């Protein structure tokens, strides 16, 4: 990582820790409130960038994946490959954004918002055990695999996307964003 990228990232990290909310005498900038209507297009763009369907043009969002940990900007090509191939074979179809759920309530800081998204991959797997009985195996082939990501917004820009199956626990299924994702159009 170059020194300029490090300095830029450090500066943005420090700025993100500054208190937000009401504009006061010590505020550097006033942040606009997050608009949920703009969340879906931003999430769709981020998913397209993380799967190589669209070129990445800026260092945001920062991705945290189970396989890579923090994905550095110069590791993005390897990250895309890990998100679109399995066991050396390309996925049968592109990753699909299936559903989007808002998490929690906006309080004093109206510029921040969290969403849990569900992604679905049609990826290859080798022969594998399907239960505790080693005699029961599933033959190799393609299979749908869900993944869940926590998406953090500041204003209407995605700051981070974190992979984690546990994020499904935060979901209130009935409060999903309407019209966003494959199963809600």
Q: How confident is the model at residue 10 (pLDDT cuts 50, 70, 90)?
A: very low
Name the residue among 71, 39, 73, 152 with its Cα closest to residue 82: 71
Helix, strand, coil percentages, rounded to 5, for the chain: 30, 35, 40
Overall CATH class of domain 33-184: alpha beta
Domain extents for the chain? Answer: 33-184
- Token digits for 157? 């820009």
Q: Write down the pLDDT at residue 127.
A: 78
Which parts of 18-74 fold into alpha helices (H)? 39-50
pLDDT higher than threshold 70 for residue 97: yes
CA distance 41 to 118: 15
pTM of the model: 0.74
Helices (H) and strands (E) in the chain — how many of each?
3, 10
Residue 21 has pLDDT above 60, yes or no: no
Whether omega before 61 lies within 30 degrees of 0, making that bond cis, reads yes
* Phi, psi dihedrals of residue 90, rounded to the nearest 5°: -70, 150
Structure confidence by residue, pLDDT tens digits, 56-79: 877 788 999 887 789 888 888 888
Rg, the chain, Cα only: 19
Backbone angles phi, psi at 124, to 5 degrees: -80, 145
């Amino acid at each position: 990582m170059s020194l300029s990228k490090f300095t830029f990232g450090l500066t943005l990290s420090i700025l993100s820790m500054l208190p937000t909310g009401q504009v006061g005498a010590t505020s550097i900038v006033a942040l606009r409130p997050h608009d949920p209507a703009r969340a879906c297009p931003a999430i769709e763009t981020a998913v397209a960038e993380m799967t190589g369907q669209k070129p990445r043009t800026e260092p945001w969002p920062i991705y945290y994946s189970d396989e890579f940990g923090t994905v550095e900007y110069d590791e993005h090509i390897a990250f895309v490959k890990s998100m679109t191939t399995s066991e050396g074979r390309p996925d049968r179809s592109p990753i699909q954004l299936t559903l989007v759920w808002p998490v929690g309530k906006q309080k004093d800081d109206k510029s921040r918002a969290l969403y849990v998204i569900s992604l679905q991959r049609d990826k290859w797997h080798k022969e594998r055990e399907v239960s505790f009985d080693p005699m029961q195996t599933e033959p190799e082939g393609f299979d749908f695999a869900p993944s869940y990501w926590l998406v953090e917004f500041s204003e209407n820009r995605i700051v981070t996307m974190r992979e984690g199956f546990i994020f499904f626990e935060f979901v209130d299924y009935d409060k999903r964003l309407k019209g966003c994702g494959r199963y809600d159009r």
